[in-house]
Amino acid sequence: MSISYNPHISIDCVVFGFDYKELKVLLVEREVWDKKKNKLIKKDLKLPGSLIRKREELDHAASRVLQEFTGLKNIYLKQFDVFSNPKRIHNAADIQWLHEHTGIEIEHIISVAYYSLVKLDEASPYENSLKTKAHWVNINNIPKMIFDHNEILDKALVALRNELRTKPVGFELLPKKFTIRQLQNLYEVILGINLDNRNFRKKLLKQKYIIPLEEKEQLVNHKPATLYYYDQKLYNKINEGNQFFSI
Amino acid sequence: MSISYNPHISIDCVVFGFDYKELKVLLVEREVWDKKKNKLIKKDLKLPGSLIRKREELDHAASRVLQEFTGLKNIYLKQFDVFSNPKRIHNAADIQWLHEHTGIEIEHIISVAYYSLVKLDEASPYENSLKTKAHWVNINNIPKMIFDHNEILDKALVALRNELRTKPVGFELLPKKFTIRQLQNLYEVILGINLDNRNFRKKLLKQKYIIPLEEKEQLVNHKPATLYYYDQKLYNKINEGNQFFSI
């Protein structure tokens, strides 16, 4: 048996950023040049990604790419799917661009996809360290990207929403002391739905690990709301008991 | 920028089988031959796997391999991790075997790993359709396998145990009507621990979706125990309400 076929391997990263109001995605520019005329033909957007390098581990490639575009190390990335459809790169212009960009004929790229979620508040290093060709784009304004990058993004969003619905990841994206309005806003923005205020408040206040403080919010031009904090230890304790048989 | 490096891609499958008593794993034989002397040098075990074929999707490759060794189609496989360490294949004899087996020089194989769990009762087609070189091996008697296959199996077992602890997958491995003893045995075998009988029974009977029947077990040479069934719809209903905010 002789098998001489090997596709190329890449990684692609879906980095979600939340700034308390909007959910954004980190996209990078791709430029297609007419080399003979030295003229820019078109500029479009893609997910940050790369073919892996010689003897490179996938997680390493993902970190390398993120560092390249954000200037930052140690962004937590979670591998969530592998895209291996041989037709995922079929557009003639894209194949041509790949050829020019890599210097080799590429027929089939299998891409291992990662996602992560970062806080984009004023103190965030993510907001300020982006390289010139990287942008935060609102989730509702994502253009048609190259290859199957829209599909990869859609699947990452499904994975993120599933995590948000079933795990307390949302609190990592809020200030330590938060209002119920802020928490509801986070759920509405990431899940892409409107929630009934009264129901949300009612369900929320049933959770014992969301604890009201004596403090209220400050410097707002409406009636200040109560601040809450999330008790991770209490959540873990309650959750242990809820886990199926808590064996 | 010129990138001409591409590792090979394989899939490996960890198929767990449960026969109500033991947890087993489907392993296949690898034979290493001295071609000049036409003599078998050694025989060892590995996970069922394969390099992917030309323009083949990963899920397709996984199904193809399982069908090859079990004769069966439509085994549900779940992708759970990707193994990309460039040192995962480092043994000189293994590299030599790969070369002979594939006809090409292979330096780095990235393997996408799948797992699944099947019932091995008397009616099971899995038990009877195995090809000659495939075996069900008890989880406690797994030998040293080739490459990093022991590590892949270990990680699959962690994923399986995590699923068993948090989701009601265990019921798919039991008869429709089961005793608490059978259910406890399933948890003990798969989790690899001993559970306190009284505590297990107590926790179990608190779960409203495990419903006692009027019937008792038959043809046993001890006091017949009550039979139960698992109400999936009720579980879903209760679980929806438990999910974080049940939004």
Cross-chain CB nearest to B244 (options A5, A166, A246): A166
Two tokens at A170?
């949302």
pLDDT of B37 strictly over 60: yes
- Residue A198 confidence class, pLDDT cut points 50, 70, 90: very high
B115 and B177 in a common domain: no
Terminal Cα-to-Cα distance of chain B (whole angstroms): 48
Closest Cβ opposite residue A245 in set B9, B104, B203? B203
For residue range A220-245, list pLDDT tens digits in order.
888 899 999 999 999 888 877 555 55
- Candidates B57, B85, B187; nearest CB to A84: B57
Whether residue B109 sits in one domain with residue B177: no
Say if strands A39-46 and B23-34 run parallel, antiparallel, or are unpaired.
unpaired
Backbone angles phi, psi at A25, to 5 degrees: -130, 140
Out of A96-110, A169-183, A225-239, which region has the weakest mean confidence (pLDDT)?
A: A96-110
Of B7, B191, B204, the CB nearest to A9: B7
**Overall domain count for chain B:** 2
CB pairs under 8 A between A and B: 128
Helix (H, G, I), strand (E, B) or coil at B31: strand
Residues 6 or more apart from A71 whose CB is under 8 A from it? Answer: A129, A130, A131
* pLDDT given at position A242: 57
Query: Is pLDDT of A65 > 70?
Result: yes
Same domain? For A79 and A61 the reply is: yes
Hey, of B50, B190, B203, B247, which one would you mutate to test binding to chain A, going by the most A CBs within 10 A of its CB?
B247
d(CA B73, CA A117) in angstroms, rounded, equals: 38
Q: Is residue A133 part of a domain?
A: yes
pLDDT at A202 over 70: yes
Task: Report residue B86 CA to chain centroid gap.
Answer: 25
| Residue A187 to residue B247, Cβ atoms within 8 A | yes
Cβ of A165 and B245 within 8 Å?
A: yes
B33 touches A: beta carbon within 8 Å: no
Task: Judge whether A110 and A82 are in contact, CB under 8 Å.
Answer: yes
Report, as an integer, the average pLDDT of B14-40.
90
- Please judge whether B52 and A247 are an interchain contact, meaning their C-beta atoms are less than 8 angstroms apart: no
Whole-number Å distance between alpha carbons of A158 and A167: 14
Does the beta-carbon distance from B244 to A187 stay under 8 Å?
no
Domain with B185 in it: what CATH number? 1.10.10.10
Average confidence score pLDDT of chain A: 87
pLDDT-derived band at B32 (thresholds 50, 70, 90) equals confident
Q: Are B60 and B43 in contact (CB under 8 A)?
A: no
Q: Does residue A171 have a pLDDT over 50?
A: yes
Residues of A in contact with B1 (CB under 8 A): 101-103
Q: Tell me, what's the pLDDT at A2?
A: 40
Residue B32: strand pairing partners: B42
Residue A244 has its nearest CB partner, among B3, B51, B166, at B166
> Would you state the pLDDT for residue A34?
82
How far is the C-alpha of B197 from the C-alpha of A16, rounded, in Å? Answer: 46
Q: What percent of chain A has pLDDT over 90?
A: 48
- What burial letters (b/e) apply to B9-21, b meaning 16+ CB within 10 Å? bbbbbbbbbbbbe
Mutant choice from B2, B6, B200 vs A, greatest count of A C-beta within 10 A: B6
Asked if residue B2 is part of any domain, the answer here is: no
Q: Which helix (H) or strand (E) holds B105?
A: none
Q: Which residues contact A239 (CB under 8 A, 6 or more apart)?
A: none
Q: How many Cβ atoms sit within 10 Å of the Cβ of residue B114?
A: 28
Residue with tokens 């926790």: B203
Classify residue A3: in a domain, yes or no. Answer: no
Q: Regarding beta strands A8-18 and A109-119, do their DSSP bridges make them parallel or antiparallel, or are they unpaired?
A: parallel
Q: B16, B118 in Cβ contact below 8 A?
A: yes
pLDDT at A99: 84
Residue A136 has pLDDT above 60, yes or no: yes
Q: Check: CB of residue B115 under 8 Å from CB of residue B159.
A: yes
Q: Which residues of B touch A51 (CB under 8 A)?
A: 3, 5-6
Q: Which domain holds residue B154?
A: 8-165
> Tell me, what's the pLDDT at B99?
84
Whether B247 is in a domain gets the answer no
Domain check: are A202 and A91 in the same one?
no
The Cα angle at residue B131 between residues B127 and B136, in degrees rounded to 5:
45
Distances (CA, A) of A81 to A13, B78, B79: 11, 11, 8
Q: What is the pLDDT of residue A50?
A: 92
* pLDDT at residue B29, rounded to an integer: 92
CATH number of the domain to which A48 belongs: 3.90.79.10
The CA distance from B190 to B156, in Å, is: 12
Q: Tell me whether residue A247 is in a domain.
A: no
**What angle (nearest 5°) sits at the alpha carbon of residue A36, between those of residues A33 and A39?**
40
B40 and B122 co-located in one domain: yes
Residue A15 falls inside a structural domain: yes
In this predicted structure, which of A155-159, A164-168, A180-184, B128-132 has the lowest mean pLDDT?
A: B128-132
Same domain assignment for residues A138 and A234: no
* Mean pLDDT of the region A125-150: 86
How much is the pTM? 0.85
Locate the DSSP E strands across chain A.
8-18, 23-34, 39-46, 49-51, 78-83, 109-119, 134-138, 210-216, 226-230
Q: For chain A, positions 151-190, list CB contacts with chain B under 8 A.
A: 165-168, 187
Q: Domain check: are B32 and B92 in the same one? A: yes
Residue after which a domain boundary falls, among A166, A197, A227: A166
Whether A203 and A83 map to the same domain: the answer is: no
> Does the CB of A207 have a partner CB in chain B at under 8 Å?
yes
Rounded-to-integer distance, Cα B49 and Cα B65, Å: 6
Per-residue pLDDT tens over the stretch B67-107: 888 877 878 899 999 999 999 988 888 888 888 888 777 87
> Is residue B158 one of the residues assigned to a domain?
yes
For residue range B146-183, what is the model confidence (pLDDT) as tens digits?
999 999 999 999 999 988 887 888 888 888 999 999 99
**Higher pLDDT, residue A1 or B84:** B84
Q: Could you say which of B132, B165, B198 is where a domain stops?
A: B165
Closest alpha carbon within chain B to A50: B3
* Per-residue pLDDT, B1: 41
Q: Hey, is the C-beta of B238 within 8 angstroms of any chain A C-beta?
A: no
Residues B22 and B48 in one domain: yes
Task: Please report whether residue B37 resides in a domain.
Answer: yes
Token look-up 């990309």 returns: B84
Calculate what percentage of chain B has a pLDDT beyond 70.
91
Residue B247: the pLDDT is 45
Question: Average of pLDDT values for B189-208?
Answer: 89
Report the pLDDT averaged over residues B205-213: 90
A204 near A183, Cβ under 8 Å?
A: yes
pLDDT at B167: 82
Residues B160 and B182 in one domain: no
B210 and B95 within one domain: no
Q: What is the pLDDT of residue B245?
A: 57
Taking only the tens place, the pLDDT of each residue in A137-149 is: 999 999 999 999 9
Do B213 and B236 sit in the same domain of this protein? yes
What pLDDT is attached to residue A124?
66
The residue in chain A having the minimum alpha-carbon distance to the alpha carbon of residue B89 is: A55
Check pLDDT > 60 for residue B4.
no
Which residue, B165, B191, B224, sits at the end of a domain? B165
* Weakest-pLDDT range from A27-31, A103-107, A211-215: A103-107
